[in-house]
Amino acid sequence: MIADRLAAACREHPLREKILVVPSLAIGHQIADAVAFGGTPWVNLRMETVRTISDAVAGFDLAGRGFTVLSRAQALAVIERACDRVLDESSYFAALLGRPGLYRAIQRSVDDLRHAGVNPEAIPKGAFEDERKARDLGLIIGAYERELRDRKFVDRCGVISRAIELAGQGTWSRDALWFVLDEIELTNLEKRLLDAIGAGTILSISAGNHDAARPPLEVEFARAVGEENELRGALRAAVTLDEAEVVYTSRDPYLSLAYELTSEYAIPATFAEGIAAPFTRPGQAAIGFLDWLGDDYNTTHLQRIARSGALRTPEAVPPAVFARLLRASMIGWGRDRYVPRLEASITEVERALEESESESRSEWLTKEIERRREALNVAQSLLEIGAIESLPGAALAFVDRFAATRNEIDGMALAALRRLLQELAALEEPAAHGERARDPKDIDRLIEAIAATHVAASNPRPGHLHVTSMRAGGWSGRKRMFLVGLDDTRHPGAGLQDPVVLDEERRNINSSIGPGQLDLLGDQPARNAARLARLIERAGAARWTVSYADVDLRDRRARFPSKDLLELFRAARHESDARYDALVAGSTVEGFLEDRAPLSESEWWLGQRFVRGRQDLRPELWSAYPWLAQGERARQARATDEITAWDGRIDVSPVDIDPRCTGRVYSASQMERMARCPFGWFVERVLHIQPVEELLRVDDRWLDNRQFGVLVHEVLQETMEEICANGETPSHAAHVGRMRAIGETALLQWRSEVPPATESAFARQRDELFAASDVFLRTEEQRCAEVEPKFFEAPFGMPKAQASSIGMIEPLVIPLGAGTSVKLRGQIDRVDRDRHTGNWQVWDYKTGSLYEYREEWRLRRGTKLQHVIYTRALTEMLRGRGLPGSVDCAGYYFPTSKGDGARIARECAPGELEHALNLLFDVIGSGWFPLPDDGKCDFCDFRGLCGNPEEAKEGMARKQTANANDPAVMAWRRLQEVG
């Protein structure tokens, strides 16, 4: 074992400096700790990597000469520019210019060539499939190196090369005993560096004997239902966390799954490769910010990061408040909407403050103004940052000012992101001239770069489970090892070729330049297999569980064990011809059902129910989760024949709720709503629950039905008013132009309130509006031969009636017998007068479909009341103004293309309205708010809240039958009979 051999060296040379060259410092530290834990105290034992050595040898020299070392991401940007500069139409790679994958592939190949020490000019032309490749690569490397030189950059390869030079000149030497861990995988160039500094004195030292892949002494095999159960198996078996290490073959999905699961079960863990930045607040914030830029400044993204706590805002406007204000000011999206909308929202509160009469309210309003002002400031800063030309620069400014941090990991993430963004910003070349439109692809790429950033990488720590990769695993000396991900898709991998220098070409190059210089990618699986063997070897003393997931949970696809897993199984069982089914049969199954050591409460219940087969768990469940018991009570109540407090029945005095007693004024449409769905009315008007109002971006729709209805209304109203004010009669030919102009103005007005997501959606509704205009004018043209349009908008029971030539300020009072009455308000869309009889007609515009109006009804179970209420109201108004004639026609008018301009008149007998209203109020007044019997409702915001009306239907019917003598039920049923 490596630790023993190092310990021996330490004992032999206690004081002398001993240096071990390791693949990574993390591994080195684990080895050094193992030496001391093995009982050998040590002094002057140092761990170095190729990187630290080359930095030590050449770092100051390079820095002294003004060179900056580039990260890989930065070097990629230089490669990209080099390619763009030297490749032209005649180049082999020309077809892929601009594709990010090309640059990455070229960077890999260039690295390979440089590390192998292959000079592209020396490559014989015939080595390549396409001769142009040699020239292209030569040019790219030339241009790349030139830019490095010119801008005083140096990449990793350059640092090593310089270090070799310096070491060769003898300017750097270290009097030490040198060891190299032979697990390290070195490139040619790296080997040369070690040769140069060690001058042949380096001892190779190995963690084990690799003659044959020996299985560990103790090994179990497992197959799991999905990767997550593979990990759960490990979490369960890791009885003492800091004695266990989980090694994965592939980072995705194991690393993030392990992070999720250990967090879920509150298991402290260290991650050798860190965790992905998007798991941290600064990561989430940065991505949210970029999404915001990429999605036309849609507030949704800011709201999200604000609500999740990833956004940091000034104290005066906490993130949740900022989110609320962004939404409430109906900004929606678009850079230009922020300032005016937020300013308008401030003005609104200022106005309210002026009008406020209560002190506490004024106080609140003053605070609210402050909050809104601060929100405006924040928004302005964000917009300024968003306008920074350099994208990484903007992101950097954003995280600096607005990324929240709550814990250590957030802090590390912030630092790592700043570094990344600084590096990327440093390399950007200023745009040739002026503004440059943001390329959505740049945003995507930056998001990818952030997502690929890993933070808080850690060595094993006491009290923590260690999770690591196959390369970095097996060094902790822990007693319990878990190796996950040994299915054949993840291990040993496919050995995909490098498209820039194909294996065939690599072979040619190698044979013409010298053997074994460029690795073949087809050997990748073999190399992975060897890594696995070494991993197991170096922790061979531990107890192992090796596993694979035999199904992908997402799509329920089967997965199969890797060939190496079978080999391991054969070796462990001493059955060299064991077959796959033996492996499968010889593996324990890790699934969702686990009886012995549940990780969570849920698992315990699953174990009890399905492993032990218990069917008597309910009582225990109710006592463990009292809310579920309460829920069950509700379910049972709903299942009984009684109409209970869970069926929309409340305990209330009629004085508080019965419109005949409350003395409040109700709108006519509210009455209809009440009759259509008392429960919905209860939610809206009694519980005061409102849907969140916000602008959502829907590509194929601009205004919703209600909004579009209002728009049509406005246009019709204004057109008719104008025509009639001019003393004209409507005519399609004469007025269509004017009506369109009015329409255009209204469209513009609406547009500023509600920005259309797409122009085509806007255009569609514009067409629809104009089609409605046509239908309307044609209908009017014919109609006006018979009638004279007299009033448009006749309000009653509303202050604005004052301005109307017909309206009345007082509500309409409908006596309902026994001294009771109800007060109503509303607004009649349209009043016409019959040219022959002089009688009056009342019309209500409808922009929806004719569907409900096809049947013959008078009040339609109380859901259509307007025609009667308006008739009454108009009669009052006429009487009030002393106008002759009676109202002899009332109904609904469909001035749209869908409705073909149909006018549907409805009448009802005297007393019928009173009858219906009394029934309705008998129901409501009793404190019962049923759902519609037929379970059918139009679009309603409360769908998620009332329970599925379609499903509730049957239960409701049953309850009504069982309580047929309940006065409220009787009233409700009789109301349903009103035609």
Partner 1 sequence: MTLADQSARDAIARDLDINLMVEAAAGTGKTTSLVTRAVELIRTGRCKIDTLAAITFTVKAAAQLRERLQEALERQASGLGARAAVEQGRIDRALHNLDRALIGTTHAFCARMLRERPVESSIDPDFEELDETETRLLMEEFWSRWFEAQAIGGSEQLRAVRETAVKPWLLRNAFFRLVDYADVEIVSTPCGRPDLRAAVDAVVAFLAKCEPCFPTSGMRVKEDDFEKMMRELVRKRDTKDLGETLDQLEFLEAGDHASRKPTQKNWPDGKHAKQLGIEYSDIVRNLVRPTLRRWREYVHCVVIDFLSPAVKAFEEERLRNGTLTFNDLLLRARDLLRDHPGVRRYFQRRFTHVLVDEFQDTDPIQAEVLFYLTGEEVEERNWRRLTPRPGSLFIVGDPKQSIYRFRRADITTYLTVKERIEKTHGRVEILTANFRSVGPLCAFVNETFPRLFLEDDVSKGRQARHIDLDAQSEGVAHCGVYALEIADGRYEGVAEEEARRVAQWIRRAVQSGLIVDDGGEQRPAQYGDFLLISERKARLSAYARALEEEGIRFEVTGGEAFAKSEELRDVLPLLRAVADPDDAIALAAFLRGPFCGASDDALYRFVKLGGKFAAYREIPEGADPAIVAGLGIVKESLGFARDLPAAAAIARIFDRLGLTAFAATREQGGTRAGNTLLALALARRESASGSGFARIVDRLGDLLESDARVEEMNVDPAAENVVRLMNLHQVKGLEAPVVFLIDPAESFEHEPDIFVDRSGEVSRGYVAIRERKRDIALPENWDALAAEESAFQRAEHNRLLYVAATRAKSILVAGVRIKQGQRRGVWSVLAGSAKPIFDVGQSERGAAAVGEGSGFEAARVEIERRREVARHASYSVLPITKIAHGSHEELVRAEEGLGKGTSWGRVLHRLFEGMLRNDALDIRRFAANLLKDEERDAVELEEVIRVVEAVQQSDLWRRAKSADERYVEVPFALQVPRREAGIDEDGATLLHGTIDLVFRERGQWFVVDYKSDATKNRLDALVRYYTPQVEHYARFWQRLTGVPTRAGLFFVDGCIESWT
Answer whether 859's CB lies under 8 Å from 912's CB.
yes
Residue type, 476: S
- Identify residues 153-212 at the interface with partner 1 (CB under 8 A): none
Report the nearest approach of ligand SF4 to the CB of residue 854 (Å). Answer: 21
579 contacts partner 1 (rule: CB under 8 A)? yes
Q: CA-CA distance, 154 to 69, in Å (whole number)?
A: 5
Measure Cα distances from 755 to 294, 335, 437, 762 in Å.
Answer: 17, 12, 21, 9
Q: Which does 677 bind (CB under 5 to 8 A by kind): ligand SF4, partner 1, none?
A: ligand SF4
By CB under 8 A, residue 774 contacts partner 1 = yes
Closest alpha carbon to 100 in 69, 82, 77 = 77
Among 679, 792, 894, 928, which residue interacts with ligand SF4 (rule: CB under 6 A)? 679
720, 777 contact by CB (below 8 A): no
Asked if 271 contacts 508 with a C-beta cutoff of 8 angstroms, the reply is: no
Beta pairing class for 68-69 and 821-834: unpaired
Residue identified by tokens 């004017």 is 738
**Residue 585's closest CA among 597, 595, 575?**
575
Helix, strand or coil for residue 112?
helix
Helix 156-168 vs helix 188-198: crossing angle, to nearest 10: 30
Q: Please report where in the chains the tokens 């999200």 appear, as a residue.
A: 304
Residue 216 or 932: the one with the smaller Cβ distance to ligand SF4 is 932
423: contact with partner 1 by CB under 8 A: no
* Residue 649: contacted member of ligand SF4, partner 1, none (CB under 5 to 8 Å, by partner type): partner 1
For partner 1, the closer of residues 765 and 804 by Cβ is 765
Question: Per-residue x/- marks for partner 1, 369-398, CB under 8 A?
Answer: ------------------------------
> Between 273 and 684, whose beta carbon lies closer to ligand SF4?
684
Stretch that binds ligand SF4, among 328-336, 552-560, 675-683, 690-698 (CB under 6 A): 675-683
Q: Which does 940 bind (CB under 5 to 8 A by kind): ligand SF4, partner 1, none?
A: ligand SF4
Sole binder of ligand SF4 in the list 472, 942, 959, 966 (CB under 6 A) = 942
**From 272, 932, 971, 975, residue interacting with ligand SF4 (rule: CB under 6 A):** 932
**Which of ligand SF4, partner 1, none does residue 324 bind to, with CB < 5 to 8 Å depending on kind?**
partner 1
Q: Tell me, what amino acid is at 264? A: E
Note whether 706 binds ligand SF4 by CB under 6 A.
no
Burial track 724-761 (b if 16+ CB lie within 10 A, e otherwise): beeeebbebeebbebbbebbeebbeebeeebbbbeeeb
Q: How far apart are CA 340 and CA 320, in angstroms?
A: 21
Which residue in the set 240, 512, 837, 886 belongs to the binding site for partner 1 (CB under 8 A)?
A: 240
Stretch that binds partner 1, among 30-38, 189-197, 428-436, 531-539 (CB under 8 A): 30-38
| Angstrom distance (rounded) from CA 723 to CA 721 | 6
| Pair 181, 22: CB distance under 8 Å | yes
Integer Cα distance of 695 and 328 in angstroms: 9
Nearer to partner 1, 225 or 816 (CB): 225
Q: Counting contacts by CB under 6 A, is residue 253 touching ligand SF4?
A: no
Distance, in Å, from the CA atom of 829 to the CA atom of 843, rounded to the nearest integer, reads 6
Q: Is the Cβ of residue 451 or residue 940 nearer to ligand SF4 in the bound state?
A: 940
618: contact with partner 1 by CB under 8 A: yes
- Tell me if 928 contacts ligand SF4 by CB under 6 A: no
Contact between 213 and partner 1 per CB under 8 A = no
Residue 291 CB, nearest approach to partner 1 (Å): 10
Interface region with partner 1, contact rule CB under 8 A, candidates 202-210, 338-346, 553-561, 721-729? 553-561
Q: Which does 555 bind (CB under 5 to 8 A by kind): ligand SF4, partner 1, none?
A: partner 1
Residue 412 makes contact with partner 1 by CB under 8 A: no
**Read out DSSP for 655-666?**
HHH-HHHH--EE
Distance CA 579, CA 460 (A): 37
Is 616 near partner 1 (CB under 8 A)? yes
Of ligand SF4, partner 1, none, which one sits near residue 735, judging by CB under 5 to 8 A according to partner kind?
none
Alpha-helical (H) ranges within 72-225 are 72-86, 100-116, 132-150, 156-168, 188-198
Render the burial of 54-74: b for 16+ CB within 10 Å, e for the rest. Answer: bbebbbebbeeeebebbeeeb
Cα radius of gyration rounded to whole Å, the chain: 39
Does 940 help bind ligand SF4 (rule: CB under 6 A)?
yes
Q: Does 39 bind partner 1 (CB under 8 A)?
A: yes
Residue 677, interface with ligand SF4 (CB under 6 A)?
yes
Taking the least distance from each CB to partner 1, the nearer of 59 and 117 is: 59
CB of 758 to partner 1, least distance (A): 4
Could you say which of 214, 330, 513, 625 contacts partner 1 (CB under 8 A)? Answer: 625
How remote is the C-alpha of 568 from its chain's centroid? 42
d(CA 527, CA 541): 23
Instruction: Report the residue number, 419 or 879, with the smaller CB distance to partner 1.
Output: 419
- Per the structure block, which two tokens stand in for 180? 């190299």
The residue with tokens 């514009």 is: 766
**Which pair of tokens denotes residue 865?**
């009341």
Cβ 881 to partner 1, closest distance in Å? 32
CB atoms near residue 272 (< 10 Å): 26
Q: Is 501 in the site for ligand SF4 (CB under 6 A)?
A: no
Q: Which is nearer to ligand SF4, 607 or 932 (CB)?
A: 932
Task: For residue 307, state whether it binds partner 1 (rule: CB under 8 A).
Answer: yes
Is residue 67 left, alpha or beta, with left meaning phi > 0 and alpha meaning psi from -120 to 50? beta
How far apart, in Å, do the first and last CA atoms of the chain sit? 93
The residues pairing with 890 across neighbouring beta strands, listed in sequence order, are 842
Identify the residue among 555, 725, 737, 882 touching partner 1 (CB under 8 A).
555
Q: Is 128 in the site for partner 1 (CB under 8 A)?
A: no
Q: Which of residues 83-122 bind partner 1 (CB under 8 A)?
A: 92-93, 95-96, 99-102, 104-105
By CB under 6 A, tell whether 675 contacts ligand SF4.
Answer: no
Nearer CB in complex with partner 1: 824/931: 931
- Which of ligand SF4, partner 1, none lies near 432, with the C-beta cut-off 5 to 8 A by kind? none
Task: Kindly tell me which residue out of 387, 415, 431, 526 binds partner 1, with binding defined by CB under 8 A.
Answer: 526
The answer to whether 512 and 66 have CB atoms below 8 angstroms apart is no
Location of structure tokens 């406007």: 317
Partner whose binding site includes residue 199, from ligand SF4, partner 1, none (CB under 5 to 8 Å by kind): none
Length of the chain: 979
Stated as kind and residue range, the H or E segment containing 891 is: strand 887-893
Q: Is residue 261 within the footprint of partner 1 (CB under 8 A)?
A: yes
Q: Which of 826, 846, 831, 824 is nearest to 886 (CA)?
A: 831
Which amino acid is located at 590 in the chain? E
Give yes or no for residue 649 binding partner 1 (CB under 8 A): yes
Q: How many CB atoms are closer than 10 A to CB 620?
A: 12
949 is a contact residue toward ligand SF4 (CB under 6 A): yes
Min dist CB 937 to ligand SF4, Å, is 3
The mark string for 315-344 relative to partner 1 (x by CB under 8 A, - otherwise) is -----x--xx--x-----------------
Does 856 bind partner 1 (CB under 8 A)? Our answer is yes
* Residue span binding ligand SF4 (CB under 6 A) among the ranges 202-210, 421-429, 872-880, 936-944: 936-944
**Binding-site member from 931, 956, 968, 971 for ligand SF4 (CB under 6 A):** 931
Q: Which does 857 bind (CB under 5 to 8 A by kind): partner 1, ligand SF4, none?
A: none
Would you tell me which residues interact with ligand SF4 (CB under 6 A)?
A: 677, 679-680, 931-932, 937, 940, 942-943, 946, 949
